[in-house]
């Protein structure tokens, strides 16, 4: 763990889960600090992943699960033909736009979770071969899944960033807190 997570007031399970989710989102977002748009969109490995694409993917996946939990239609519905676009910027999209989008989705997720009557409340899983038929999951499951998803991509992002310029997560935490790194503005507004 690169940063300490202030998880909760005693008994605040929602706050603890939301804090850990925010910490993992921040891990992905931090990897673009100090990078130009072109660097963030570059793919330094054979996987085809980019840091900008991981930011966009994080926002889209969280929005998709949030809409499922809300039992509302997702305004950014994807299908097999557009799924690869969740991992890359298209049609003039920019990294700052994706960072802003994820920030708005994160805010909506927190507001929703704070408002649900219980973390035991459930919603239906989508139809997919990897989910049980007629399956349902709780709001707690939703948060744990989003933490898992964000953590997985934070690890990917750490590797991509180190491949670009050698900066590690520890160095990026220092840069974010004003304790290191070069000055100047970049694609993230920093």
As a whole number of angstroms, the distance between CA 47 and CA 147 comes to 22
Interval 25-38: pLDDT, tens: 999 999 999 999 99
pLDDT above 80 for 179: no
As a whole number of angstroms, the distance between CA 50 and CA 64 comes to 21
Confidence band, pLDDT 50/70/90 cuts, at residue 8? low
Interval 136-173: pLDDT, tens: 999 999 999 999 999 999 999 999 999 999 999 989 99
Tell me the domains of the chain and their CATH numbers. Answer: 13-176 (1.20.120.450)
Over 128-162, what HEC string results? CCCCCCCCEEEHHHHHHHHHHHHHHHHHHHHHHHH
């Amino acid at each position: 763990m690169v940063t300490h997570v202030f998880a909760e007031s005693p008994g605040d399970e929602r706050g603890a889960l939301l804090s850990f989710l925010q910490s993992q989102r921040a891990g992905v977002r931090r990897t673009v600090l100090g990078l130009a748009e072109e660097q963030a969109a570059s793919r330094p490995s054979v996987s085809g992943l980019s840091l900008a694409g991981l930011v966009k993917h994080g926002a889209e996946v969280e929005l998709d699960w949030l809409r499922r939990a809300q039992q509302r239609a997702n305004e950014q519905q994807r299908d097999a033909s557009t799924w690869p676009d969740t991992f890359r910027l298209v049609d003039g999209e920019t990294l700052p736009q994706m960072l802003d989008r994820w920030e708005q989705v994160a805010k909506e997720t927190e507001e929703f979770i704070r408002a649900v009557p219980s973390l035991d409340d459930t919603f239906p899983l989508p139809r997919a071969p990897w989910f049980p038929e007629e399956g349902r999951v709780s709001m707690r499951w939703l948060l744990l899944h989003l933490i898992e998803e964000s953590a997985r991509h934070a690890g990917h992002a750490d590797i991509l960033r180190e491949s670009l310029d050698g900066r590690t997560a520890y160095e990026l935490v220092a840069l974010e807190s004003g304790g290191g790194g070069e000055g100047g503005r970049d694609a993230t507004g920093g």
